[in-house]
Amino acid sequence: QFSIVAPHSLHRHCIATQGTLYPKNIQLVMIDDVIVYYYNSSAEQEAIVPEWLNHPEGIEFWQEVHRNLKFNRYVMDTAVRVTSEHYNHSHDHFYQAHGRCGWKSDGTTEAFMSHAYDGKDFVSFDVSTRTWTAAVSHAVFYKRKRETDLEDLVRLVIHYESGCIRWLEKLLEFSVTVREPKVPAVSLFERPPHGNSEVEVTCHVTGFYPRAVQVEWLGAEGLPMVDGVNSGEVLPNGDGSYQLRKSLTVPQEAQDTQSYSCLVLHSSIAGNITVTWAPKKNLANVLMAIVIIVSVVLILTVLFKYLVWRRAVAQNPE
């Protein structure tokens, strides 16, 4: 029994830096893998409204997101400044924040936020308990700073308990066209053995959207294979779709007798897509049979022409 579930989520990534090596601020908001808002302080212009939000209701909503993220720049600039001062750091350092909200597979909502300093875990905020947790001892000062700011605490709770989900619901409504499901194309290709008798068969699944996909190699009696299976990562194509490769190493003793199937499950299709790799022996037998039939036909043709010639000679002696 296979299934594929793709719950939706909204992510916000914010980075603030000090020094000259990096842009001062970078902000990114995404619904699943679709960009809603992107800001880079090193660019010469403010964030741009995406085409799929370029209508009156969408623009009004996007401006709300923009105001929220613009205030967040101040919060992030403060975070990198006070943290660098606490460590007595100078030069180039950066502070990161990642917030997420969405639905779990059982339909309930979830939300969290975590911070990092110079790429290492620093603090996190538990929305359900409304508490900050320091990941390292040096972060205790920042945890206390955020906990004593009651106005900031209320702002975070309101956003992650209700505002973030409201954003997600609106964005799901507005982004229907850019999130249009795409059916995967599935093909098999075989790599000849290198120095041994094993054969690698790759199942190439490409052109699908959304990103979530399940690919399984099935062996005898339709059971999933584990041994000899090597899976790559889901990679983006240039058109917004994705691709994945999953390879199976077939030992020599199984190449002439055992068939294997690549099964693909994706939310764009009701059932599944299955492509089967047939044993080599079957193909060899077919080719041999064709060669034998062609040879017999040629022999019979030559024999027939010879008999016709002999009869003609017998009836018309010189």
pLDDT in tens, 187-231: 999 887 666 678 899 999 999 999 999 999 998 788 898 999 999
pLDDT for 1: 46
Q: What does the alpha-carbon distance between residue 75 and residue 14 come to, in Å, rounded to a whole number? A: 10
Q: pLDDT tens digits, residue range 74-92?
A: 999 999 999 999 999 988 9
CA-closest candidate to residue 14, choices 75, 98, 77:
98
By CB atoms closer than 10 A (0-12, 13-18, 19+), residue 296 is exposed
Q: Which fold has domain 185-278?
A: Immunoglobulin-like (2.60.40)
Tokens 């999933």 belong to 224
pLDDT band at 96 (very low <50, low <70, confident <90, very high): very high
Q: pLDDT digits over 12-29, tens only? A: 999 999 987 889 999 999
Q: What fold characterizes domain 9-174?
A: 3.30.500
Identify the CA nearest to 171 among candidates 46, 20, 276, 33: 33
**What pLDDT score does 317 carry?**
58
- pLDDT tens digits, one per residue of 237-273: 988 899 999 999 988 777 777 889 999 999 999 999 9
Transcribe the chain into DSSP letters: --------EEEEEEEEEESSSS-SEEEEEEETTEEEEEEETTSSS-----GGG-SHHHHHHHHHHHHHHHHHHHHHHHHHHHHHHHHT--SSEEEEEEEEEEE-TTS-EEEEEEEEETTEEEEEEETTTTEEEESSGGGHHHHHHHHH-HHHHHHHHHIIIIIHHHHHHHHHHHTTTTT--BPPEEEEEEE--SSSS-EEEEEEEEEEBSS--EEEEE-GGGPBP-TTEEE---EE-TTS-EEEEEEEEEPGGGTTT--EEEEEE-TTSSS-EEEEEPPHHHHHHHHHHHHHHHHHHHHHHHHHHHHHHHHHHHHS--
